[in-house]
Every structure is written in C-alpha cells, then in structure tokens.
C-alpha cells in the first residue's frame, strides 16, 4: 500500500483518468474490430526479448530498458533481456519460432504496451501503446498486400470520427533509390537518410549536407530536393517524376518499378479517401530505418502536425529468415498513445461519462438492497450496464450522485412494485419494465466528444 507523502508522477509513463480511459478503450475497440473485419488474427508476444535480438534493429541501445533482479549476481549485472521497444522485433522472432504452425500469408494484428528509454515530451513516452498490422509471406509476398494494409488503416482511422482528420503519406524507396542511382549518387542510403531530415531541417541545410556528406554536386542535390517536393493525391505525380528524370537524364529500372508500385497504392486507396482520412504520395518520405525495401508510410494528424508521424511503416523483404525460408512482410503501426494522450491532456477529447453505467438503481432503504441488486441483474442480463446506489439517501441526492458520474438514467421501484425510469438530463420519468426497457443506443456506453480545441485550423 502507498503511504506517506503524495507520490510524484513519473515522466513519460502516462496514466489516464477513467473518462480518458473510456476514450482510449473506444479507439482500441474500433481498431480491433476493423482489423478483424479485414481478417487479421490477434497475437500477443511476451514483453521481453533477448538483447541480441533487440539490438539488431540499429542504434537502439540507448532506448532499451534492461530486465534485472534486485539482487542480480551475473557478471553483466542483468539477465540479458530487455523490454521490447516496438512490436516489429518481437513479431519477427514470433514468425520464426512459430512458422511451422502458421499459414502464409500470415495476417496479424497486435495491440500492446511497449517501452522506450527516450526523453519524454508531448507525444513521446517511455511506456506507450501501439497497434500494428502486418502481412507476412514465405519467400514471396505480392505487392497488392502493400495496398491492403494501407486500406485497412485508412478504414480504421476513418471510423474514428471524433479524431481530427489524418493524412496518410506514402512513398516507395525503390522510386527514390532508382532516381538517386540514375543521378549517379554513390551512397544511396546516405542520400535517403539526409533527405529524410527535411521535416526537421530547412531545404538549404539538407542541400548542404547532400554536398558535404553524401558527395553530391550542387546539380545532383538540386534534383534530389526537387524530387522531394513532389506531392499528389492522385497518380499525377508519375508524370512529374518522369519529367524531372528526363530533365536530369535519369533512367533506371528501379525508378520505373517504384513508380508503378506507388501509383498502384494511391489508385488502390482512392475509394477510401474522404474528409476523415486522405492519402497522398509524398516523395520526401524515406523512413530512417534501413530494413524498408519498397513502400513506406507516414501519417500526420491535421492541425497537430507537431506530433510528427502518428502511424508509420512499410515493406520489408526480409522481416526474418532462417535456413529454410525468408519471410517478407508489409506492415503499419499506429502510435495509440502518441495520438491520444496529447489530445486527452489538452481536453480536446473527453467521454460523456466517467463510468460505463447507463442506469443507477435507486435505493429507498437498506432493506431494499437485495431487490435492487436483483433488478440490476435483470438489466445486466440484457447488456445494460448499471449499478445500485451506494446508500439510501434522499432521492434528490441519489440523482445528483448519478449526475456527477454522468449516468443518464435513475431507476425507481415503488412500494407497489411498479417501476419507473428517469432521464435526469430531460427530467422525463416514465413507467418501465426491467425485462423490456432499453435506453437508446448512444446511452448504452460512454460516448466520445470532441471539443472545439481538437478542431484546430490546418492547411
């Protein structure tokens, strides 16, 4: 038990109040429902992985939380295990470990906590929830699956109608690598890494780095930046890229392949684009992780672009491999905490009540509690969440108790056994049969409300 002085909050480990948690739960329920509508089965992996697995993903050693006992006596001072910092690394291990029991292409969704030892700030936390979907093949995986995962996430985000609109930005690394190679760039990965800094540095700064660090001349750097400015919500980007390539004498088969794949992705997602969620080919997107091999995704919350990408991913042709097979995949990951916690803390999203109860069963006196409990059970049997008043105060106080908790209905039982239910918002009180009466669908569960502060202006 906690005793003594008031605890000090831990930075980077967000805890939500019940009404905020109701918002998060509705988001998670919607994501899970949409993922499963598209045939993605659920998995959950362990929270820890061996350090040699966690550190394979690049420069992540500063982010990994080690697992150790208080009285650890090993020479290393830890158990050789760390908490996973994303869901991709444990999923790759899961595929290898269970490949003999999986049907490929394997479609999975996974919603779990992850831990990352980075500096906490708005939208970035040390403990947070991610929601991932991936499709993994054995030795091969059709490009149409890239379109599919984008469509699934657009569908899911489009149904969260209380969130600000989102823009799914897509690119293809084959396209940009082919362009850079056709220009004569010697280090394609370095050029991609530097171009990926355009969301943090001014174009002239990136231009200077392309010359000083990637070895490009000024004209090559100009061409790379010109490619990165191309954006389109339809296939018109193809002609613009081809015109730029012709201007600079670029001709490369990888460029053609990337253009074809990206055009197919934009075309395949067009039917899901709308006011809530849009898709845009954005040729500045490269993604910093070197295991992406084709399609790459980033997603911005309109009006809240300072949060960075709230949903990202892409194609990786070697998610995992063993001596028998290679497992290519494509996936996309939604940072649930990055998306929601800043909006919740700002009051931009709120639930209309802090409890799931739709009904408070009033209590005339303590002797009536068994009957009130039995009545509540009859309502619960029909999936109506309810609770019995904690004490037999005056009915006015019981109504105010329900009002403070956001419970919309109070149920009364008279001395003659007759039942009435009161909508405390309108004041209307009517006769009711506990085996028949049902509140309107919006009152059955807490509803998420978006306040004016969530509707910031955006371009």
pLDDT at 455 over 50: no
- Between CA 411 and CA 362 the distance in angstroms is 6
CA angle 43, 106, 269 (to 5 degrees): 100
Q: Please give the Cα distance from 68 to 155 (Å, whole number).
A: 41
Among 23-37, 68-82, 240-254, the minimum mean pLDDT is found in: 68-82
Q: What is the pLDDT of residue 257?
A: 97
DSSP output for 288-343: S-TT--SEEEEEEETT-GGG--SEEEEEEEEEEE-SS-EEEEEEEEEEHHHHHHHH
* Residue 415 predicted with pLDDT over 90: no
pLDDT at 287 over 90: no
Domains in the chain (CATH in brackets) are 29-44+120-337 (3.30.930.10), 359-448 (3.40.50.800)
**What does the alpha-carbon distance between residue 16 and residue 354 come to, in Å, rounded to a whole number?**
11
| pLDDT tens string 288-339 | 656 789 999 999 999 998 888 999 999 999 888 888 899 999 999 999 999 9
Rounded Cα distance between 387 and 377, Å, is 9
Instruction: Note if the pTM is more than 0.85.
Output: yes
Are the C-beta atoms of 318 and 423 separated by less than 8 Å? Answer: no
- Which among 184, 232, 244, 171 has a CA at the least distance from the CA of 210? 184
pLDDT of residue 53: 84
Contact 41, 109 (CB under 8 A): yes
């Amino acid at each position: 038990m906690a005793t003594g002085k008031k605890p000090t909050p831990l930075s980077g480990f967000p805890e939500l109040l019940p009404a905020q948690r109701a918002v998060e739960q509705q988001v998670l329920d919607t994501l899970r429902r949409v993922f499963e509508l598209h045939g993605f089965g659920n998995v959950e992996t362990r929270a820890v992985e061996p350090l040699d697995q966690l550190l394979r993903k690049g420069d992540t050693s500063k982010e990994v939380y080690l697992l150790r006992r208080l009285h650890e006596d090993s020479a290393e001072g830890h158990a050789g295990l760390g908490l996973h910092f994303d869901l991709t690394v444990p999923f790759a291990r899961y595929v290898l470990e269970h490949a003999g029991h999986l049907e490929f292409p394997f479609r999975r969704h996974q919603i779990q906590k992850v831990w990352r030892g980075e500096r906490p700030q708005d939208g970035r936390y040390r403990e947070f929830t991610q929601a991932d979907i991936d499709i993994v093949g054995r030795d091969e995986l059709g490009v149409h699956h890239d379109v599919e995962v984008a469509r699934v996430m657009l569908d899911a985000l489009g149904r969260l109608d209380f969130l600000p609109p989102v823009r799914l930005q897509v690119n293809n690394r084959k396209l940009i690598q082919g362009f850079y190679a056709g220009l004569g760039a010697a280090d394609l990965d370095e050029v991609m890494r530097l171009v990926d800094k355009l969301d943090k540095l001014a174009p002239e700064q990136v231009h200077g780095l392309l010359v000083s660090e990637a070895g490009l001349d000024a004209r090559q750097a100009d061409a790379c930046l010109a490619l990165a400015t191309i954006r389109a919500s339809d296939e018109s980007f193809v002609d613009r890229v081809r015109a730029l390539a012709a201007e600079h004498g670029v001709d490369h088969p990888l460029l053609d392949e990337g253009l074809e794949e990206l055009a197919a992705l934009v075309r395949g997602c067009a039917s899901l684009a709308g006011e809530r969620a849009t898709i845009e080919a954005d040729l500045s997107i490269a993604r910093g992780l070197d295991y992406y091999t084709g399609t790459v995704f980033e997603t911005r919350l309109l009006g809240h672009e300072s949060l960075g990408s709230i949903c990202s991913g892409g194609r990786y042709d070697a998610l995992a491999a063993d001596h028998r097979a290679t497992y290519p995949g494509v996936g996309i990951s939604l940072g649930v905490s990055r998306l929601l916690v800043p909006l919740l803390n700002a009051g931009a999203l709120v639930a209309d009540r802090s409890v799931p109860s739709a009904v408070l069963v009033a209590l005339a006196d303590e002797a009536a509690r068994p009957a009130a409990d039995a009545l509540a059970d009859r309502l619960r049997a029909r999936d109506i969440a309810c609770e019995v008043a904690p004490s037999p105060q005056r009915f006015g106080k019981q109504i105010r108790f329900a009002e403070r908790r956001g419970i919309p209905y109070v149920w009364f039982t008279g001395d003659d056994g007759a039942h009435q239910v009161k909508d405390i918002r309108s004041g209307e009180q009517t006769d009711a049969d506990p085996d028949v009466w049902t509140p309107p669908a919006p009152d059955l569960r807490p509803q998420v409300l978006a306040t004016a502060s969530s509707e910031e202006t955006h371009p």
